[in-house]
Amino acid sequence: MKNIYSALSLIFIVIGTLLLGSILNEQVVAKILSFGYLGPVTFLFLILYSTVAFVLAIMSKKMKYKALLLVLSTILLLFSIIFTFVGAFAFQSP
């Protein structure tokens, strides 16, 4: 059962990475992965996907890939929080 957590964590890491890459480029995939919403809601989905990946990586079976899943999901979570912070506070009109 815990092997499923590892696979799901990897899937959510890939989804979050695709969403992050799509936000920075053409936003075609971002519209699909955020169920048709664009804008600030997309960052909410990015944080959601990376948080789910992190939780599933913690719950996964102790094997050689668990550390890699934890590192990747932590990096994705940090990037999503940083981009959300920058998007929410740095681009406000003076």
Q: Does residue 72 lie within any of the structural domains?
A: yes
**How many domains does the structure of the chain reveal?**
1
Q: Does residue 71 lie within any of the structural domains?
A: yes
Sorted by sequence, the CB contacts under 8 Å of residue 23 that are 6+ apart come out as 30, 42, 43, 46, 83
Tokens 């994705």 found at: 76
Mean pLDDT across the chain, nearest whole number?
Answer: 83
Q: Which domain holds residue 62?
A: 2-84
Flag whether the pTM goes above 0.75.
Answer: yes
Q: How do residues 7-36 score in pLDDT, each as one tens digit?
A: 889 899 998 888 887 777 777 777 777 777
Q: Are 63 and 47 in contact (CB under 8 A)?
A: no
Q: Does residue 92 lie within any of the structural domains?
A: no
State which amino acid sits at residue 5.
Answer: Y
Task: Note the pLDDT of residue 78.
Answer: 92
Task: Note the pLDDT of residue 83.
Answer: 83
The C-alpha atoms of residue 5 and residue 23 are separated, in whole angstroms, by 27
Q: Are 76 and 13 in contact (CB under 8 A)?
A: yes
